[in-house]
Amino acid sequence: MPPLKYFEVECSDPVGGEAYKRIAADVLQDLDLLKVFEKLHIFVDPKVPIFVAAGVIRHLPRRVRVRDFAGINVQEGKAVLDIGDETYLAPLLTSLWAKFGKENVDQPDRFTVVLPEELFAQGEIEDMVVADPSVSIYQDVIYAMQYIAPEGFKVRRQHVGGTKFYYVASEDTLPEDVVETLVADTFARMGESL
Amino acid sequence: MTTLVPITYKGGVYRHDEIVDLIDDLGGYIVQKHVMAQEVVLQSFVPRDDVGLIRRIAKPLAGEVIEAPLVGTEIAVVSPSLEIHHLPHTSCDIAEYLRRAGAKTNMVGLARGFGKRIANLSAEERDVINEHDLAVYVLGSFEECLRQKFPVLRRGVDVPIVLTGAPDRETLTRITDPPVEGYVGDVGRIMHRFKRPEEIRKLDELVDEVSRALDARRDEIAKDPLSIFPARLMDILEEKVQEVSLLTHPTPVTAQLAGLRVKLPYEEYADALRALEIADGVTVGDIAEVLPSKMRNYILIRIKPYSETRIMV
């Protein structure tokens, strides 16, 4: 079972509820999200029909800055960026090109980027944000919920803000106050509030 | 009359032609032949009394003869959609397991089969399902949803149906009215590969249910036998229609319980097929209907019973 602090599936149909608990566990495992969630509560009522998932995300990876993955040496009028982790090289180059123009960004080999010193000095390159993994985490969380929810429930309302998220889906039009009522209730079950 | 039984032969490529010749000499038919790297799988019909002989001859070739109840049948695996919610598990796992039992399976992914109230079956989908010998409905987890959507998804489907879903067998039986030919409970939406012993047991149970439903259909056919055995007609077509051998489909001619699907364009070949002589002045048109299939532009041959044609080939 997933290393979540809290994981419950509540359903008026016990067989369906058990099935959805397995489905949710499988999906989270498949998408490698077990470590991302701290709490997850799913409420399904096929009679209404409605699917509500609410939860708390464990920790958001912080934004990746240039100094996190590159060593910087300034010498002889040049700033040499020694890339340690190639994962972020492409977004780094894209930002550098946008900032200084392609003609000023030299890449003699895969792991080295060279900039003229005067441009480097005015650019605050070390603290430049290259990537924000939390953006993809938000997408992954919502994708996982779409994957878990019954397929026919196409009308949906979703939200990820800070560490809390919710996902409500149904076949029919959702009531306007669904967030204040059902979602708030679901959070309350976990001892949380939105 | 010798009774033909369906078997699967699995063995190496080396000297497998001896088995092919043997089945031919014994008066059997090969309905599917798969060569995968060094391995050969033959789905065939052979005389009941000769199964032992084939086993004996296959032994030194390290070949294996297994009884395969679904050989010579075409089964539709009906999935509410082709989304990640149903594929590759559960629908593909089920289709694959039925193929192991010898069936030719086709996945029918409905355009709007998902949901409870919104589930729908189009006329085209219904006609495609009706071209098969049996349909396996792979449905989801909630009793409430199955109760409401299954009557819609089966509307107009007149082939035997085996229903699978997460509720247990008793519940499935209770909520299905009128009853269908088979039920397999405790399946539903499963998001991992079927590998645990209880999951494999469910697949075995499904094969049993499907073969039981098909046996009932075979018994029905036996009361008014077909004018020609489908595998025999298949053999004749493969021999006489040269274009069939040029097709690249895995099964250019697919055998069904009471017919064949020929994967040639209907417009160009239907008349030639109807006029094809199979024995002493008897043509295909005399003993069978040659119809356009709803699947691409294939040809569907439905063999008429003896009572209608008074001809037995």
What gap in Å lies between CA A71 and CA B121, rounded to an integer?
Answer: 61
* A174 closest CA partner among A153, A150, A193: A153
Of the partner residues B86, B119, B188, the one whose CB lies closest to the CB of residue A19: B188
Question: What percentage of chain A carries pLDDT values higher than 90?
Answer: 56
**pLDDT band at residue B279 using 50, 70 and 90 as cut-offs:** confident
pLDDT tens readout for residues A8-63: 999 999 999 999 999 999 999 999 888 889 999 999 999 989 999 999 998 777 88
Q: Between chains, do A15 and B119 touch, taking CB under 8 Å as contact?
A: no
- Window B:134-163, CB contacts with A under 8 Å: 140-145
Of the partner residues A15, A22, A46, the one whose CB lies closest to the CB of residue B116: A46
A48 touches chain B (CB under 8 A): no
Shortest distance between the Cα of B84 and any Cα of chain A, in A, equals 7
Which three-class secondary structure state does DSSP give residue B242?
A: helix
* Cα angle for residues B50, B54, B55 (degrees, 5° grid): 115
Identify the residue whose tokens are 């299939």. Answer: B293
Q: Between chains, do B142 and A16 touch, taking CB under 8 Å as contact?
A: yes
Q: Does A1 have pLDDT greater than 60?
A: no
What gap in Å lies between CA B222 and CA A153, rounded to an integer?
Answer: 46
How far from A2 is each of A28, A41, A59, A187, CA to CA, in Å?
Answer: 8, 13, 16, 19
Which three-class secondary structure state does DSSP give residue A102?
A: helix
**DSSP letter, residue A34:** T
Residue A77 CB coordination number (10 Å): 9
Averaged pLDDT, A153-181: 91
Of the partner residues B83, B143, B168, the one whose CB lies closest to the CB of residue A13: B143
Pairing of the two strands A50-57 and A164-170? antiparallel
Q: Is residue A38, in this structure, part of any structural domain at all?
A: yes
Of the partner residues A23, A47, A153, the one whose CB lies closest to the CB of residue B191: A23
CB neighbours of B100 closer than 8 A, spacing ≥ 6? none
* Cα angle for residues B105, B109, B113 (degrees, 5° grid): 135
**pLDDT band at residue B250 using 50, 70 and 90 as cut-offs:** confident
Averaged pLDDT of chain B: 94
Of the partner residues B118, B166, B167, the one whose CB lies closest to the CB of residue A152: B118
Q: Are residues A56 and A137 in the same domain?
A: yes
Q: Between chains, do A152 and B84 touch, taking CB under 8 Å as contact?
A: no
Pairing of the two strands B4-12 and B39-47? antiparallel
Return the number of CB contacts < 8 Å for A and B.
74
What gap in Å lies between CA B288 and CA B276, rounded to an integer?
Answer: 11
**pLDDT band at residue A119 using 50, 70 and 90 as cut-offs:** confident
A26 touches chain B (CB under 8 A): yes
What gap in Å lies between CA B95 and CA B101, rounded to an integer?
Answer: 10
Q: Are residues A120 and A138 in the same domain?
A: no
What gap in Å lies between CA A139 and CA A152, rounded to an integer?
Answer: 20
**pLDDT band at residue B1 using 50, 70 and 90 as cut-offs:** low
pLDDT tens readout for residues B86-128: 988 999 999 999 999 999 999 999 999 999 999 999 999 999 9
Q: Are residues A43 and A125 in the same domain?
A: no
Q: Is residue A126, in this structure, part of any structural domain at all?
A: yes
Partners of A113 in beta bridges? A81
Question: What percentage of chain B carries pLDDT values higher than 90?
Answer: 93
Q: Between chains, do A150 and B117 touch, taking CB under 8 Å as contact?
A: no
Shortest distance between the Cα of A47 and any Cα of chain B, in A, equals 7
Structure token pair of residue B219:
């018994």
Cis status of the peptide bond prior to A2, with omega within 30 of 0: no
How far from B268 is each of B237, B274, B292, B299, CA to CA, in Å?
Answer: 16, 12, 11, 10
Look up the CATH number of the domain holding residue A112. Answer: 3.30.1360
B313 touches chain A (CB under 8 A): no
**Measured in whole angstroms, how far is the alpha carbon of residue A137 from the centre of its chain?**
1
Averaged pLDDT of chain A: 89
Averaged pLDDT, B167-186: 94
Q: Between chains, do A23 and B116 touch, taking CB under 8 Å as contact?
A: no
DSSP per-residue string spanning B243-285 = HHHH--SSSSEEE-SSEEEE-S-HHHHHHHHHH-EEETTEEHH
Q: Between chains, do A171 and B118 touch, taking CB under 8 Å as contact?
A: yes
Helix axes A14-30 and A133-148, enclosed angle (nearest 10):
150
Q: Domain count of chain A?
A: 2
Domain stop point among A103, A131, A159: A131
Interface test with A, best of B93, B164, B191 (most A CBs within 10 A): B191
How far from B97 is each of A78, A102, B46, B263, CA to CA, in Å?
Answer: 64, 56, 22, 24
Q: Between chains, do B191 and A151 touch, taking CB under 8 Å as contact?
A: no
Structure token pair of residue A82:
């020694």
CATH 3.30.390.10 for the B74-221 domain, yes or no: no
What gap in Å lies between CA B53 and CA A111, rounded to an integer?
Answer: 68
Side chain identity at residue B35, one-letter code: V
**pLDDT band at residue A4 using 50, 70 and 90 as cut-offs:** confident
pLDDT tens readout for residues A65-100: 988 899 888 888 888 999 988 888 999 999 999 988
What gap in Å lies between CA B158 and CA A118, rounded to an integer?
Answer: 80
* B103 closest CA partner among B134, B133, B73, B130: B73
Closest A-chain CA to B112? A152
- Is the CB of residue B106 less than 8 Å from the CB of residue B74? yes
Q: Does B154 have pLDDT greater than 90?
A: yes
- CATH superfamily name and code, B4-67: ACT domain (3.30.70.260)
Q: H or E stretch including B126?
A: helix B123-130
> Which of residues B60 and A3 earns the better pLDDT score?
B60
What gap in Å lies between CA B165 and CA B188, rounded to an integer?
Answer: 4
Q: Between chains, do B189 and A23 touch, taking CB under 8 Å as contact?
A: yes
Closest A-chain CA to B192? A26
Q: Is residue A95, in this structure, part of any structural domain at all?
A: yes
**Residue-range domain boundaries for chain B:** 4-67, 74-221, 230-309
- Is the CB of residue B184 less than 8 Å from the CB of residue B203? no
CB neighbours of B64 closer than 8 A, spacing ≥ 6? B9, B10, B11, B58
ipTM for the assembly: 0.86
Please indicate whether the domains covering B4-67 and B74-221 agree at the CATH topology level. no
- Window A:151-180, CB contacts with B under 8 Å: 151-154, 171-172
Residue B97 CB coordination number (10 Å): 18
Q: Is residue A43, in this structure, part of any structural domain at all?
A: yes
Q: Are residues A32 and A73 in the same domain?
A: no
Q: Is residue A1, in this structure, part of any structural domain at all?
A: no
**Measured in whole angstroms, how far is the alpha carbon of residue B49 from the centre of its chain?**
25
Q: Are residues A22 and A112 in the same domain?
A: no
Range of the domain at A27: 6-61+133-189
Of the partner residues A27, A46, A154, the one whose CB lies closest to the CB of residue B142: A46
Q: Is residue A194, in this structure, part of any structural domain at all?
A: no
Q: Between chains, do A16 and B166 touch, taking CB under 8 Å as contact?
A: yes
